[in-house]
Amino acid sequence: MLPIFCLIASMGFGQLKDSSVFKVDSLQTVTVTAFHAQRLWKEVPASIAVLTTKDIDKTAGLSMVTAVNTIPGVRMEERSPGSYRLSFRGSTLRSPFGVRNVKIYWNGLPLTDAAGNTYLNLINIHSVDGMEIAKGPASSMYGAGTGGVLLLKTNPQFQQKTEDHFSALVGAGSYGLVNEEAQWKHSNANVSSSIQQMHQQSDGYRMQSAMRKDMLQYNGAFQYGKQKWEVLAFYTDLYYQTPGGLTLAQMQKDPQQARLATPVFPGAVQQKAAVYNKTWYTGIKQEKELSKYWRWENAFMLNHTSFTNPFITNYEERDEWNGGGRTQLVYQKHQWQWITGAEWLGNHSLIDDYGNRSGQKDTVQFKDDLHARQFFIFSQATYTLNRWVVQGGLSVNKTSYTYQRLTAPSSRQQSYSNGSVLMPRISLLYKMSENISAYLLATKGFSTPTLAEIHPSDGLFHAELQPEQGLNYEGGIKGVIAKGKLQFDIAYYDFELHNAIVRRNNAAGAEYFINAGRIKENGAEASVAYILLAKNRGFIRAIHLMAASAYQPYRFTEYRQGAFDYTGNPVTGVPVHTYMMGTDIEAAKGYYLHILYNAVDAISLNDAADEYAKAYHLLEVKVGRQFRCWKMRTNLFVAGDNLLNELYSLGNDINAVGRRYYNPAANRNFYAALQLQW
């Protein structure tokens, strides 16, 4: 009754006073914090993409996938509901599941653990006020990694008078989807805090693809005198089933089926293949002004994960403890900025592996004890002179693992270490005019194998695996023209990657990783946004157009595996072309329409390049209305995804045994929600 009553009542109350009509200057006022820049987006000497709350709200808001995939050179996949994969400017060779080779922070607190893994699927997208994406190696500030950095932000709101606000959201959609959220915010001149709760569940499009997610989160910020403290704490209970990959013939016959049984292995339904993840996370950040020019920042985190994964061939239980800290000293005076600091991360994992008998633990296969440690120190200087910005950074990185098989009495502890590796980064930006800048940069990329690669599902410890490394050269031009109505960003990069880490499978279907030799990752990215219309009268108040494209003709330049030579083949899992276009329309009385179109080129599914996932086109539309229902701000909307009803796989299992590459995504589906704020 409430949605119907509010909709009728809104006819007399009109649209919200704070309707988000596009402002002429709204495209050029975004401030970037990556690399501790604190500069306008167009004045940062790096390839940085920014997603604001407004950008996130253009999507249905059920996950990060649609919003993140509007960024050229960034690809986020969802193999089944709740199972994410993320890559920046590169292949998914290293990520059969999860997030690897991308460093992720939330308000300066590390989310990526010492083992190189990030459980990005634990986060509620509505807990995030914005994202910054730094593409390519970011060694000068964020340590080892060749992919890039994702910075999540939750902005504290301090008010001169005490204020309390409440919000709630309830939604439902196709395939048994239910979503519910509630939040309370409290703020005054010195305190900003919020508590958020969410529940989401779905039956899934395919068999054995149901999911359930419950999250409770607290954000707090406190400022007194010259000190500021921030707290991030959350607990997530996530369960999602894993239907497994299909062959092309199986997908074409019935895309909703789960992985079928074979004469050797049972199917996903019989084995009740799924992931159970219960994680709590606590982080504290401190900022203190030491003097007019000096500031000291510290961050500490601790979290625990209980992870259970009944799979086709085994039943795994993991108990993970993660801790770490980051400290940095910042000097800022006139044209100079200098920042130096260190970060340490530690992980302890107990991994127990059993046989899987129809979803129940069977005989013990092995029990392993693993420790992972990451440490790096860094220093970066930035000098600004008239139209020039020069930035140089350097870091020294070390990663180590120790491993022991507890179920083998004669087993000795094994170790792995990459030693101490020096990684430089230098960039130069020239302001061609007040609103247009060009930049050049050179960076050394270095990425050690993650724990999931050193100790993959084949149950062995692969100390022979070598780190990836290479040099990245990049140039770009970006800015705002046409009286602030047109924003553009164009970049070209050339990254020569050595010892690329590639996923393989043994005869039993268990994965392991090898070094493939060399890969040439050169490409181009472009994005443009244009305010076609912005006015305060008439029915159509604003029209905003956007488009983006990435060109990634990556190739193996040296790759031999036994008797097979893959040199010259396209890099597995990478589409050569991706395109995105979007339109946002805002009208009188709070009506709005968001349209997003995404096209992805054919994708090579194995290193031999003898099978490709066909190109696909996705269309998402969201239509709704914002209005006031008595004292409540109300947002009522309906969203439709895959409206072209494409048969496609949003996340392929590359190099899969039996050519089971495909994880079919849902066909045409819909979601409707009501959001209230007061």
Label residues 551-588 b or e (16+ Cβ within 10 Å = b): bbebbbbebeeeeeebeebbbbbbbbebebebbbbbbe
- Residue positions counted in the chain: 678
Is it the case that residue 238 has pLDDT exceeding 90?
yes
Rounded CA-CA distance 139/444 in Å is 7
**DSSP 8-state secondary structure symbol assigned to residue 144:** S
pLDDT mean across residues, the chain: 90
Which pLDDT value is given to residue 3?
42
The per-residue pLDDT for 452 is: 81
3-class DSSP state for residue 559? coil
Confidence of residue 19 (pLDDT cuts 50, 70, 90): very low
**What confidence tens digit (pLDDT) does each residue in 395-417 have?**
999 999 999 999 988 888 999 88
pLDDT recorded at residue 21 = 43
CATH of the domain at 115: 2.40.170.20
Of the listed ranges 27-31, 39-43, 419-423, 599-603, the one predicted with least confidence: 27-31
CA-angle at 414, arms to 654 and 402, nearest 5°: 75
Q: CB neighbours of 31 closer than 8 A, spacing ≥ 6?
A: 38, 39, 40, 41
Whole-angstrom CA distances from 326 to 116, 286, 301, 318, 621 are: 16, 10, 9, 26, 42
| Digit-coded pLDDT (tens) for 136-183 | 888 778 887 888 899 999 988 888 899 999 999 999 999 999 999 999
Pairing of strands 102-106, 148-153: parallel
Spell out the residues 6+ positions from residue 589 whose beta carbon is closer than 8 angstroms to its own: 10, 14, 15, 625, 627
**What are the backbone dihedrals phi and psi of residue 211, each rounded to the nearest 5 degrees, phi first?**
-145, 155
Q: What is the pLDDT of residue 181?
A: 96
What is the rounded CA–CA span in Å between residue 407 and residue 427? 51
Q: What letter would DSSP give residue 646? A: -
Looking at residue 97, its pLDDT comes to 64
Radius of gyration of the chain, Cα coordinates, nearest whole angstrom: 25
Q: Rounded to the nearest 10 degrees, how much is the dihedral formed by the CA atoms of 595, 599, 600, 602?
A: 150
Confidence of residue 10 (pLDDT cuts 50, 70, 90): very low
| Pairwise CA distance, residues 176 & 605, whole Å | 31
Q: Do the strands 39-40 and 360-385 form a parallel or antiparallel pair, or are they unpaired?
A: unpaired
Which among 165, 66, 128, 182 is positioned nearest to 671, based on CA atoms?
66
Mean pLDDT, residues 288-293:
94
Residue 629: CB atoms within 10 A of its CB come to 20
Contact 440, 425 (CB under 8 A): no
| pLDDT above 70 as % of the chain | 94
As a whole number of angstroms, the distance between CA 333 and CA 293 comes to 6
More reliable by pLDDT, 58 or 506: 58
Q: Which whole number is the average pLDDT over 40-65?
A: 89
Alpha carbon distance 472, 521 (integer Å) = 9
Domain span holding position 406: 2-677
The predicted pLDDT at position 1 comes to 41
How far CA 129 is from CA of 21, 112, 269, 531, 636, in Å, comes to 19, 19, 38, 23, 20
How far apart CA 72 and CA 47 sit, in angstroms, is 11
Q: How far apart are CA 29 and CA 279, in angstroms?
A: 37
Where b means 16+ CB within 10 Å and e means fewer, 299-331 reads: bbbebebebbbbbbbbbbbbebebbbbbebebe
The model's pTM is 0.93
| Pick from 646, 587, 643, 586: nearest CA to 620 | 643
Q: Between 140 and 432, whose confidence is greater? A: 432
- What is the mean predicted confidence (pLDDT) over 29-49? 85
Please tell me the predicted confidence (pLDDT) of residue 2: 39
Q: Would you place residue 515 in the very low, low, confident or very high pLDDT band (cuts 50, 70, 90)?
A: confident
pLDDT band with cut points at 50, 70 and 90 for residue 26:
low
Rounded to an integer, the average pLDDT of 596-601 is 96
Q: How many domains does the chain have?
A: 1
Where residue 571 falls among pLDDT bands split at 50, 70, 90? very high
pLDDT on residue 16:
38
Tokens at residue 343, please? Answer: 């970060």
pLDDT-derived band at 376, boundaries 50, 70, 90? very high
pLDDT above 90 coverage of the chain, percent: 68
Per-residue pLDDT at 451: 83
Q: Report the SS3 class of residue 229.
A: strand
> Which segment of 88-102, 348-362, 426-440, 556-570 scores lowest on mean pLDDT?
88-102
pLDDT in tens, 646-658: 999 988 998 888 9
